[in-house]
Amino acid sequence: MSKLLIEGQRKLRGEVRVQGAKNSALPILAATILCGDESVLHNCPCLSDIDVCVEILRYLGCRVSRHGHTLVTDSRPMTGDEIPTSLMRQMRSSIIFLGAILARCGRAYLSFPGGCELGPRPIDLHLDALRKLGAEITEHHGRICCSAPSGLCGASVALAFPSVGATENIMIAASLAKGTTIITNAAREPEIVDLADYLNKCGACVSGAGEGTVIIEGVGSLHGTSHTIIPDRIVAATLMSAAAVTGSEILLRDVIPSHLGSVIPVFEEAGCQVDTQGGRINISAPQRLRSFRMVRTTPYPGFPTDAQAPVMAMATVAKGTTVFVENIFENRYKHVEELKRLGANVSAEGRVAVVEGVGELFSAPVQAWDLRGSAALVVAALCAQGVTEMDTTSFLQRGYEDLDVTLRDLGAVVKKI
């Protein structure tokens, strides 16, 4: 288990390439099961969540090999239709395999993802939707048994909440269903569009991805393809927060600025100069940030819940008060207590957190509780006086590829021990 030592108050400078999106690579890797063929996925970040995903594919009998940031998967030899609890527990989002295994094998056996660091992770929307597509689903002792022996049939599915995972599971399962599936109140995240692009390259017929209604015309079979994963907008927002808190100017390469449409204005309101040009974002931060009043997390294209923690770290040293309302997850303020150890003035009650900006943070040993909370602690440590020690990088490496190396390349003094 590695720790991270971060010496604060160092300016950052230079340019950095933003990694491929974890939350796009995961559903697309699951979808490779459908084509019973070889797929080549470029720009796959080296993360522990991706490693778990690869382990699941191999457990099911698929062949997967990694060549730098390219993953080659071949689901021809797939024989399994069951994911053991041990693997399900390693990554809550492995529920995304349900639709793919069911569509390919006609049966699927998984366990409930169970609670996680963000609170309960219900999957009712996933299961209700798959039942509408004709799946018979029984649940006992934490295991989910799905079957659709005569295949799935297209249906209309109205999601009570635009769940990213549920939208992805339905798109994947419906691609090989008989007939047409219409998802209303679908999630609109860029990762949904990337999944649709991959599926259509494999011969699927998905339209409307990125809008509220997604239509999938089922096809008889799919074939392999090659695909490049989109850049990770949350990693981009995190690096922007690092520049903001250290009064730095950095250039992010290989990003898609339009994916940060609700994030960039927050940095501008905080006093940063943000210039976007093609696939680049240049951010130049003032010596002291201004508070940005109110941040409400909502489904895309609103402010992303995954950026709430790193941007809160930024608010802790901005001049004035910033109010956060976390509308997506019910327990996503675990980083608040740790930020307070660094001298931040934050009070969280239910979904609301009020941040009174302070002039300076001071190093202290802090504990990581979840992926984006860890990122928030790294951002805060970058502007704290002294050397901050974060107890583990196990959460960070789920979503950030070598963040310590990236920050060192930008001039930060960060050591992994």
The set of catalytic residues is 116
Distance CA 325, CA 371 (A): 19
Q: In angstroms, give the least distance from the CB of 206 to ligand EPZ.
A: 17
Q: Which of 74, 306, 338, 401 binds ligand EPZ (CB under 6 A)?
A: 306
Task: Examine residue 368 and tell whether it contacts ligand EPZ (CB under 6 A).
Answer: no
Q: Which is nearer to ligand EPZ, 127 or 289 (CB)?
A: 127
Q: Are 311 and 339 in contact (CB under 8 A)?
A: no
Cβ-based neighbour number of residue 46 at 10 Å: 14
Q: How far apart are the C-alpha atoms of 141 and 387, rounded to whole Å?
A: 46
Residue (165 or 208) nearer to ligand EPZ, CB: 165
Dihedral sign, Cα of residue 392, residue 401, residue 41, residue 210? positive
Q: Which is nearer to ligand EPZ, 267 or 400 (CB)?
A: 400
Interface stretch with ligand EPZ, choices 52-60, 121-129, 200-208, 259-267 (CB under 6 A)? 121-129
Quickly list DSSP for 305-333. Answer: GGGHHHHHHHHTTSBSEEEEEE-S-SS--
166 interacts with ligand EPZ by CB under 6 A: yes
Give least dist CB 180 to ligand EPZ, A.
23
Greatest CA separation found in the chain?
Answer: 65
What does the alpha-carbon distance between residue 45 and residue 22 come to, in Å, rounded to a whole number? 7
Binding mask 21-60 for ligand EPZ (x = CB under 6 A): -xx--x----------------------------------
Long-range contacts of 344-352 (CB under 8 A, 24+ apart): 344/316, 344/317, 344/380, 345/316, 346/312, 346/316, 351/325, 351/326, 351/327, 352/323, 352/324, 352/325, 352/326
**Phi and psi at residue 303, to the nearest 5°:** -70, 125
Asked if residue 161 binds ligand EPZ (CB under 6 A), the reply is yes
Closest CA to 298 of 165, 191, 161, 169: 161
Phi, psi of 135 (to 5 degrees): -75, 140
**For ligand EPZ, the closer CB: 45 or 247:** 45
User: Cβ 161 to ligand EPZ, closest distance in Å?
Assistant: 5
Q: Is 329 in the site for ligand EPZ (CB under 6 A)?
A: yes
Residue of 12, 103, 164, 382 interacting with ligand EPZ (CB under 6 A): 164
94 lies in the site for ligand EPZ, by CB under 6 A: no
> Does residue 328 bind ligand EPZ (CB under 6 A)?
yes
- Cβ at position 185, least distance to ligand EPZ in Å: 12
The answer to the question of residue 165 lying near ligand EPZ (CB under 6 A) is yes
Quick one: 267 or 329, whose CB is closer to ligand EPZ? 329
User: Taking CB under 6 A as the rule, does residue 235 contact ligand EPZ?
Assistant: no
CA distance 373 to 396: 9
Backbone conformation region of residue 109, classed left if phi is above 0, alpha if psi is from -120 to 50, else beta: beta
Site string for ligand EPZ, 185-214 (x = CB under 6 A): --x---------------------------
| Residues near ligand EPZ (CB under 6 A) | 22-23, 26, 93, 121-126, 161, 163-166, 187, 305-306, 328-329, 371-372, 399
